[in-house]
């Protein structure tokens, strides 16, 4: 077989593997409505994990297939470039070229074990110039407001694919009509267009109708979260029309949506119009295409690097015992690497740390755990690194770092959204902000527990404050399933001398946790302590955590809504919203 024919065969094999992967991705996604309507929340969580695992599974299959087809004589630059050229030709009219390019990159990296990575052999930049492919069926349904707001909304609801009965459809529509009239006033008395994505979005215990209002002088997003009542009836839980509020629904600390998207580029393009502050990387990741989100994030990083001149440096805050973290001050992400050696009190291996991060990726993050993207052989320009940072990295992780005159190569790292460490935030915050942060911190612990997650290391330095002032957990080396932790009360001392002894007078098992001790390391600041006692005193009681464990073991799934009470129908004021 000629080199050209072999290159064409390899290119077709990789694209077929990408097709097979995304076909299974869509198969799992297509079951989201049935799982939602049957309220099979356990299967919802399993489907999330299963769908994430498809990608690496299919990359492995294709890599093995190519390994059997090719010998070492084909691993030449001319052959690899011929494969890429043939692949580009296949993508010219291909609707999922974005996903296919990332899949090609993944197969290449798997075959070469993340070595021999050069831009000319990979799709570092897209070959398609941002082309937006067409959907096989129209992405949007359009409704003209010929008969008013209520009738337009009713036609939209009637077009949705749900099979459950509505609890009070007319009542929900009346409330939404009042809300929209109050928020937008005269603009909705004139002609307007309602455009909605045909396919509902599903996540956890909710479904979401997502679209926009196209009015005379402005366009605004319209997101209607749906839930199921105890009687098994559908109802609209909220009405969201603010871009920032929609952005929170699509936040980086939440699980990925299930939405049937045969052409993800077109869906991301529309979502970007609703949330212009979101990047393509964030939106691809939010709809479950997290591997292509990783590609887009890298592209965005390269663009930022080319358009900035500040230096990478050690991230502010208390240094971690397991991870070393650095950042570029002008960039919105941090870079985390696993140290070669951990502090003595950290009894774990590198493999265990990586497993913790994988657990978080596949688990329901309930808006309280930051998503990460994992990279191998990540190359930085040497002249953008401060000498202090180079010294730090070579000291704590020499096995992971290679430095030349021109580049810094890091063999394994995580990228994660940058936030203000909670401990630093509390040191500088005004009293009102401290109250809000303490409320958020306690809520974060409770919501994580409801999702069967115990943070383990609960120090404020392991949590961050997002731009929306939400408290997010981001240090995962001691994370555990809540059901695996043994919460205990400290036994009363046997003798007065017990309380003065250097060692505890009671036995302590490997998984034992004593919530009473949280006060010792959390409540150093008197203002913070007072707010804690007022807002979350139950967090210091073993019985509270044991009760949460019982609920999780009984299969109870809590409602964790990604929107404020003010946006909920039964809690929303119909007063005009100020700009």
DSSP label at residue 128: S
Distance, in Å, from the CA atom of 388 to the CA atom of 379, rounded to the nearest integer, reads 18
Q: Are 228 and 234 in contact (CB under 8 A)?
A: yes
SS3 26: helix
Name the residue among 106, 119, 102 with its Cα closest to residue 295.
102
Q: Are 125 and 180 in contact (CB under 8 A)?
A: no
**Pick the catalytic residue: 98, 172, 371, 477?**
371
SS3 323: strand
Annotated binding site for ATP: 315-321, 336
Contacts 24+ apart (CB under 8 A), 566-574: 567/238, 567/239, 567/240, 567/245, 568/237, 568/238, 569/172, 569/175, 569/176, 569/179, 569/236, 569/237, 569/238, 569/239, 572/175, 572/179, 572/238, 572/239, 573/182, 574/178, 574/179, 574/181, 574/182
Angle between helices 41-69 and 97-111 (to 10 degrees): 60
Distance, in Å, from the CA atom of 308 to the CA atom of 99, rounded to the nearest integer, reads 29
Structure tokens at 111: 């075959």
Residue 307 has, within 13 A of its CA and on its CB side, a CA count of 7
Distance, in Å, from the CA atom of 177 to the CA atom of 471, rounded to the nearest integer, reads 33
Annotated binding site: 315-321, 336
Distance, in Å, from the CA atom of 274 to the CA atom of 185, rounded to the nearest integer, reads 20
Name the residue among 294, 225, 287, 291 with its Cα closest to residue 255.
287
Distance, in Å, from the CA atom of 218 to the CA atom of 489, rounded to the nearest integer, reads 58
371 is catalytic: yes
Mapped to the 3 state alphabet, what secondary structure does 353-414 carry?
Answer: HHHHHHHHHHCCCCCCECCEEEEEEEEEEHHHECHHHHHHHHHHCHHHEEECCCEEEEEEEE
DSSP label at residue 256: P
For the chain, the straight-line distance linking the first and the last C-alpha, in angstroms and rounded, comes to 67
363: left (phi over 0), alpha (psi -120 to 50) or beta: beta
Q: How many residues does the chain have?
A: 579
Active site residues: 371
């Amino acid at each position: 077989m000629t080199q050209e024919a072999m290159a064409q065969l390899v290119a077709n094999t990789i694209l077929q593997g990408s097709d097979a992967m995304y076909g299974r991705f869509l198969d799992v996604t297509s079951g989201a409505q049935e799982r939602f309507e049957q309220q099979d929340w356990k299967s919802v969580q399993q489907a999330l994990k299963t769908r994430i695992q498809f990608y690496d599974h299919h990359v492995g299959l294709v890599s093995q297939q190519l390994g059997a087809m090719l010998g070492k004589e084909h691993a030449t630059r001319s052959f690899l470039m011929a494969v890429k050229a043939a692949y580009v030709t296949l993508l010219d009219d291909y609707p999922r070229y974005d996903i296919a390019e990332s899949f090609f990159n993944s197969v290449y990296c798997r075959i070469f074990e993340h070595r021999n990575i050069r831009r000319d052999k990979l799709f570092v930049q897209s070959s398609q110039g941002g082309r937006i492919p067409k959907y096989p069926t129209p992405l949007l349904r359009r409704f003209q407001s010929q008969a008013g707001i209520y009738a337009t909304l009713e036609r939209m609801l009637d077009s949705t694919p749900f099979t459950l009965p509505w609890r009070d459809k007319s009542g929900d529509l009346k409330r939404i009509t009042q809300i929209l009239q109050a928020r937008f006033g005269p603009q909705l008395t004139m002609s307007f267009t309602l455009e909605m994505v045909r396919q509902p979005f599903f996540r956890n215990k909710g479904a979401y109708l997502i679209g926009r209002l196209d009015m005379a002088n402005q366009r605004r997003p319209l997101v209607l979260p749906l839930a199921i009542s105890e009687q098994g009836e559908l109802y609209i839980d909220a009405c969201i029309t603010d871009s920032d509020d929609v952005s929170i629904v699509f936040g980086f600390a939440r699980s990925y949506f299930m939405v049937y998207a045969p052409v993800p580029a077109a869906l991301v393009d529309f979502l970007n119009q609703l949330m212009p502050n979101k990047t393509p990387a964030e939106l691809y990741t939010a709809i479950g295409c997290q591997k292509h989100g990783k590609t887009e994030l890298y592209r965005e990083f390269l663009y930022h690097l080319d358009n900035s001149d500040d230096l990478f440096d050690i991230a502010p805050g208390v240094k971690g015992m397991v991870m070393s973290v650095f950042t570029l001050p002008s960039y919105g992400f941090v870079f985390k690497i696993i140290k070669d050696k951990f502090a003595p009190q950290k009894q774990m291996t590198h493999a265990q740390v990586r497993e913790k991060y994988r657990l978080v990726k596949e688990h329901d993050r309930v808006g309280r755990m930051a998503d990460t993207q994992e990279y191998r052989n990540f190359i930085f320009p040497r002249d953008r690194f401060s000498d202090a940072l180079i010294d730090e990295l070579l000291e704590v992780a020499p096995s992971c770092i290679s430095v030349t005159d021109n580049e810094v190569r890091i063999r394994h790292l995580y990228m994660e959204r940058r936030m203000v460490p909670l401990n630093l935030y509390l040191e500088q915050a005004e009293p009102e902000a401290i109250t809000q942060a303490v409320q958020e911190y306690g809520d974060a612990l409770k919501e994580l527990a409801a999702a069967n997650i115990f943070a383990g290391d609960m120090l404020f330095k392991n949590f961050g404050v997002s731009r929306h002032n939400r408290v997010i957990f981001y240090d995962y080396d001691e994370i555990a399933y809540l059901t695996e932790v043994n919460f205990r009360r400290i036994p009363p001392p046997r003798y007065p001398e017990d309380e003065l002894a250097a060692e505890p007078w009671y036995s302590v098992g490997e998984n034992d946790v004593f919530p009473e001790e949280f006060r010792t390391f959390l409540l150093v600041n008197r203002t913070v302590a007072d707010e804690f006692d007022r807002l979350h005193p139950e967090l210091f009681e073993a019985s509270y955590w044991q009760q949460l464990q019982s609920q999780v073991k009984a299969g109870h799934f809590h409602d964790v809504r990604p929107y404020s009470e003010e946006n909920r129908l039964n809690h929303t004021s119909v007063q005009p919203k100020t700009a």
